[in-house]
């Protein structure tokens, strides 16, 4: 009698045998891996088709008291509502002085922009001109002009607006920003560039850095100077200069103050006015802050054409009178004279006051000093971070030089700047040490920088981030698509998982078949008695 045994396919080898836990787990892993592979591939391909790696642009004109600088910023279009992605790609300094100098001839102001704007147009693809926002923010120079002649200030802004409305960009207006806003925007810029707000995690997400601390901002312009830094939460918001800023889902409490008339240029005008007031003659004066053997002539109008020196104007003032200043290169006397620009005795609370009776909590943490601060220490051949003692010795050495030696000491020689670096150094000393109360121990927390990763430290970046809504109030989401390295790493991982799962399933299938049909004497599948 013969019994014929037919071989059954693996799928019919017995549900009981195939329902073992390892086989089920392997099948689940296979299905999950296939789903993940299909999903990430579709998302990656679809995202690349819909959001090509294009760029968006923004333009900000920093209309300062002494000059106007045009900045071009860019960021990937797919990150428009994300953060941490804006970078500076181009900068152009407009020739001539600041726009506030056009108070008597407003129609002439736009002409100075033409050369830089032609270069800006070349930096941005023509098809993106209409979608590129352009902003102009004017600072202390225009604030002073508005105090002096509001009509003239409005006419200057109107003339500039007419010019930019004729340009191919999306002009969003010209405005005079407050000193407090200037300080806050500078603080935002410094911390944004330092990565103190957000950083990329291992999973390519924007997260708030663990234990992140912010850095204070010290800005020295031509007509004003600003100090801004984070303070303790116990300080009340109604205290002078204390404000709250919400960024990236986190709240920061800041102290910020802007000192009008305490920018480098306006402060030097005040010194010249004091020298004139104390002199026995008003035709030839000795200036201890100018280098030895240096002589220059100024008109009375140049010194007293500002609200900052209005109270120091002599009774016999004539705007076209010529005054000759001769440098004596006396660093000790220069420091004493510069001290007269500040009223350090007006503070009843010496610990929580800077100068002129202005409230200021104790400085804490690190600080970024930029603009005029950086230019001055660079002229002294100092960089980034150095002891207070080094700053003083370098100041004394520089101020003791003869005028003929300065072209050999400076990387870039410009008479208007070179003659005033000695004054600037002593001014910075009094401002930071006697004013803001930095000590020998806390001085090394100050970093003098011009830029971070090729982006200038200026209030303009913080200004644009705010106006273009690049700073959301909530934490940002995952950034897609995945970077190429991450995408291929995940792809390879799940391909391996699929192959391993298939191998295990074949193994389980073969094992179950062998258990169902053990080997007999005849390999042809027929058993005999």
Contact in structure between 347 and 353 (CB atoms under 8 Å): yes
Report d(CA 272, CA 267) in Å as an integer. 9
Contacts of 357 (CB under 8 A, 6+ apart): 343, 346, 347
Q: What are phi and psi of 324, to 5 degrees?
A: -100, 125
What residues have CB less than 8 Å from 47, skipping those under 6 apart?
78, 480, 481
SS3 content of the chain, % helix, strand, coil (to 5): 45, 20, 35
The answer to whether 500 and 492 are in contact (CB under 8 A) is no
Interatomic CA distance for residues 99 and 325, integer angstroms: 27
Catalytic residue among 182, 266, 310, 415: 182
Burial class (CB within 10 angstroms; exposed 0-12, middle 13-18, buried 19+) of 153 = buried
Catalytic residue at 310? no
How far is it, in rounded angstroms, from Cα 359 to Cα 357? 6
Cα–Cα separations (whole angstroms), residue 361 to 228, 235, 255, 266: 11, 9, 8, 26
State the catalytic residues. Answer: 182
């Amino acid at each position: 009698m013969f019994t014929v045994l037919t071989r059954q396919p693996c799928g019919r080898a017995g549900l009981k045998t195939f329902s073992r836990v390892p086989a089920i787990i392997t099948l689940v892993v296979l299905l999950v891996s296939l789903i993940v592979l299909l999903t990430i591939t579709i998302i990656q391909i679809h995202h690349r088709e819909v959001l090509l790696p294009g760029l968006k642009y923004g333009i900000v004109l920093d209309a300062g008291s002494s000059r106007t600088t045009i900045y071009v910023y860019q960021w990937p279009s797919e990150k428009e509502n994300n953060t941490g992605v804006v970078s500076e790609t181009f900068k152009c300094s407009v020739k001539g002085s600041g726009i506030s100098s056009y108070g008597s001839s407003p129609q002439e102001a736009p002409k100075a922009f033409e050369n830089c704007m032609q270069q800006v147009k070349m930096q941005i693809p023509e098809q993106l001109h209409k979608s590129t926002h352009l902003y102009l923010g004017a600072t202390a120079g225009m604030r002073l002009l508005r105090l002096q002649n509001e009509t003239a200030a409005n006419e200057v802004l109107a003339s500039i607006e007419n010019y930019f409305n004729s340009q191919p960009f999306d002009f969003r207006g010209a405005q005079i920003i407050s000193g407090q806003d200037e300080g806050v925007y500078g603080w935002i810029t410094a911390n944004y560039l330092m990565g103190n707000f957000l950083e990329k995690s291992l999973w390519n997400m924007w997260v708030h850095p663990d234990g992140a601390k912010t850095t204070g901002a010290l800005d020295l312009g031509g007509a004003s100077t600003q100090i801004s830094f984070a303070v303790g939460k116990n300080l009340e918001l109604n205290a002078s200069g204390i404000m709250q800023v919400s960024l990236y889902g986190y709240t920061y409490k800041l102290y910020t103050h802007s000192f009008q008339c305490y920018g480098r240029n306006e402060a030097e005008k005040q010194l010249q006015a004091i020298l004139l007031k104390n002199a026995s003659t008003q035709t030839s004066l000795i200036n201890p802050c100018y280098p030895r053997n240096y002589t220059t002539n100024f008109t009375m109008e140049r010194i007293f054409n500002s609200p900052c020196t209005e109270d120091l104007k002599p009774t016999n003032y004539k705007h076209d009178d010529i005054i000759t200043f001769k440098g004596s290169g006396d660093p000790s006397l220069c420091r004493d004279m510069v001290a007269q620009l500040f009223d350090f005795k007006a503070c009843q609370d010496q610990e929580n006051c800077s100068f002129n009776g202005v409230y200021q909590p104790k400085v804490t943490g690190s600080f970024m000093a930029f603009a005029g601060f950086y230019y001055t220490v660079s002229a002294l051949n100092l960089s980034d971070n150095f002891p207070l003692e080094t700053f003083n010795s370098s100041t004394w050495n520089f101020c003791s030089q003869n005028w003929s030696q300065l072209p050999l000491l400076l990387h870039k020689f410009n008479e208007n700047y070179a003659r005033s670096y000695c004054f600037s150094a002593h001014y910075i000393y009094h401002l930071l040490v006697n004013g803001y109360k930095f000590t020998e121990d806390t001085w090394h927390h100050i970093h003098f920088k011009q830029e971070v990763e090729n982006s200038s430290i200026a209030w303009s970046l913080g200004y644009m981030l705010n106006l273009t809504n690049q700073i959301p109030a909530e934490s940002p989401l995952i950034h897609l698509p995945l970077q190429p390295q991450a995408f291929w790493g995940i792809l390879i991982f799940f391909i391996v998982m699929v192959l391993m799962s298939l191998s295990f399933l074949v193994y389980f299938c073969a094992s179950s078949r062998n258990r169902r049909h053990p080997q007999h004497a005849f390999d042809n599948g027929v058993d005999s008695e």
